[in-house]
Chains A and B, each alone.
Chain A
């Protein structure tokens, strides 16, 4: 599972950081950082939740 974020669409809503804090982080500069680009399968449910909850559909999963 590989995470691809469209940073042009990302508006730093930060909902992904709540759904999958192991993978996403918003830092004090207001930008989103990806902590693991290829997280393990044990995080799939959390990452899929992050994908669903992104208000700008900026997160995609590539298998």
Chain B
């Protein structure tokens, strides 16, 4: 393969480029990134950066790019994929023999109020720096969506002593991701730290002229706010693939080996949807560890198309830091999965940190594990999930 193009310059894109060189690709690499920044680490944006503890200089993922020998196209996004080239938004054509799609995802916006000053989504370094700057002025904060982004932003607000209201349409935070029982534990954590958490409520309008002054809820109440952060999920960046022969269905559709419907195109990271053989379901995983691991698998597939097809079966892992609590999860949760306690929150003794360990199962098999402040346990369960251990044996 003479020339590989990698589209996307966040973690999955960087790890793809690094894997190409490590696995012996000595041809050209063209690398396209929509942001003007070199690849940086996103998880600290909603943690250390918003707490005001880290500046952007700590976030860059790699110092030395010379040895990778890439042709950079930063600050340019892909507009269209043709047979043999990617057309960029400035009309330039980037040719390739093999292509890695790592274009990530973009935050969903509220239908209302996106042009008002003080309304933000949080995905990029620029977003985080702008929100942090606003936080320095001591605003009243409203957050729409009690997902991981919304909850981490809420925790940063409380750590900084800001008043914050979180509006969530479901009955508990994170219900789709970790189930109602554990979602309630997370709700308790945030309420105990002074977050005004409004569950079962939706936003009917954003108030303000030029700058945001508040949000109106479906029960008629008005939440006054000078800073509004919208964290209602993301949409995979696939518009540029329309008509390219690469199948898209809420993400780039891949087989179990990260290959798309075109043999010369693979995908990795938040944008990739693939059949996960361990869980026998179609998944798209928006976590750091998946981006890092899947890039490796996708590049192997691209460079060695004739090799034995190895399915990508990494057990999903994510973490979230909220206050002094580290939440970690391995595996999958789907509504309806069985949940069992290993350690209940009320069992904790000693310090005042919340601690819990819970397992998820399907058809008697261990498929997921969630812990608060119990890192040693989580590692063991992640291995057990990969080994298809039964729920009974895991306990």
> Contacts A52-B15, A53-B293 hold; do A15 and B375 have CB atoms under 8 A apart?
no
Q: Does B211 contact A (CB under 8 A)?
A: no
Q: Does B382 contact A (CB under 8 A)?
A: yes
Within 8 A of A (CB), among B277-323: 288-289, 292-293, 296, 317, 319, 321
* A-B interface, 10 closest residue pairs, ranked by CB to CB distance from nearest: A14-B379, A12-B375, A26-B376, A28-B376, A30-B375, A17-B379, A14-B375, A55-B288, A26-B379, A26-B375
Q: A13-B319, A30-B374, A55-B43 are in contact. List 10 more A-B contacts (CB 8 A).
A: A11-B375, A12-B376, A14-B375, A14-B382, A17-B379, A18-B382, A26-B375, A27-B376, A28-B376, A30-B373
Q: Does B340 contact A (CB under 8 A)?
A: no
Hey, which chain A residues are within 8 Å of B21, CB to CB? none
Hey, which chain A residues are within 8 Å of B276, CB to CB? none
Q: Interface residues, chain A, CB within 8 Å of chain B?
A: 11-15, 17-18, 26-30, 52-53, 55, 57
> Contacts A13-B328, A53-B292, A55-B319 hold; do A30 and B376 have CB atoms under 8 A apart?
yes
Cβ-defined partner of B383 (8 Å) among A18, A27, A30: A18
Q: Does B365 contact A (CB under 8 A)?
A: no
Hey, which chain A residues are within 8 Å of B15, CB to CB? 52
- Closest partner residue, chain B, to A30 (CB atom): B375
- Closest partner residue, chain A, to B377 (CB atom): A28
Give the residue among A15, A18, A28, A55 with the most B Cβ atoms within 10 A: A55
Interchain pairs with CB closer than 8 A, number: 44
Hey, which chain A residues are within 8 Å of B376, CB to CB? 12, 14, 26-30
Q: How far is the CA of A12 from the CA of B317 in the complex (A)?
A: 13
Within 8 A of A (CB), among B348-395: 373-376, 378-379, 382-383
8 residue pairs bridging A and B, Cβ less than 8 Å apart: A12-B326, A12-B375, A12-B376, A13-B328, A17-B379, A27-B376, A30-B374, A52-B292
Number of interface residues of B (CB under 8 A): 21
Q: How far is the CA of A26 from the CA of B292 in the complex (A)?
A: 21
Q: Do B379 and A53 have beta carbons less than 8 Å apart?
A: no
> Contacts A52-B15, A55-B319 hold; do A14 and B378 have CB atoms under 8 A apart?
yes
- Closest partner residue, chain A, to B11 (CB atom): A55
Q: Do B289 and A15 have beta carbons less than 8 Å apart?
A: yes
In the assembled complex, the CB of B86 is this many whole angstroms from the nearest CB of chain A, namely 27
Q: How far is the CA of A14 from the CA of B373 in the complex (A)?
A: 13
Hey, which chain A residues are within 8 Å of B379, CB to CB? 14-15, 17-18, 26
In the assembled complex, the CB of A63 is this many whole angstroms from the nearest CB of chain B, namely 16
In the assembled complex, the CB of A34 is this many whole angstroms from the nearest CB of chain B, namely 15
Hey, which chain B residues are within 8 Å of A57, CB to CB? 61
Q: How far is the CA of A15 from the CA of B328 in the complex (A)?
A: 12
In the assembled complex, the CB of A18 is this many whole angstroms from the nearest CB of chain B, namely 6
- Closest partner residue, chain A, to B386 (CB atom): A18
Hey, which chain A residues are within 8 Å of B383, CB to CB? 18
- Closest partner residue, chain B, to A54 (CB atom): B292
Hey, which chain A residues are within 8 Å of B289, CB to CB? 15, 53, 55
In the assembled complex, the CB of B189 is this many whole angstroms from the nearest CB of chain A, namely 18
Q: Do A15 and B317 have beta carbons less than 8 Å apart?
A: yes
Cβ-defined partner of A13 (8 Å) among B373, B374, B375: B375
In the assembled complex, the CB of B55 is this many whole angstroms from the nearest CB of chain A, namely 16
Hey, which chain A residues are within 8 Å of B288, CB to CB? 55
In the assembled complex, the CB of A10 is this many whole angstroms from the nearest CB of chain B, namely 10
Hey, which chain B residues are within 8 Å of A55, CB to CB? 43, 288-289, 319
Q: How far is the CA of A57 from the CA of B61 in the complex (A)?
A: 9
Q: How far is the CA of A12 from the CA of B373 in the complex (A)?
A: 10
- Closest partner residue, chain B, to A9 (CB atom): B58
Hey, which chain A residues are within 8 Å of B319, CB to CB? 11, 13, 55
Q: How far is the CA of A54 from the CA of B15 in the complex (A)?
A: 13
Q: How far is the CA of A53 from the CA of B317 in the complex (A)?
A: 11
Q: How far is the CA of A35 from the CA of B198 in the complex (A)?
A: 47
- Closest partner residue, chain B, to A26 (CB atom): B376
Q: How far is the CA of A47 from the CA of B389 in the complex (A)?
A: 26
Q: How far is the CA of A13 from the CA of B327 in the complex (A)?
A: 10
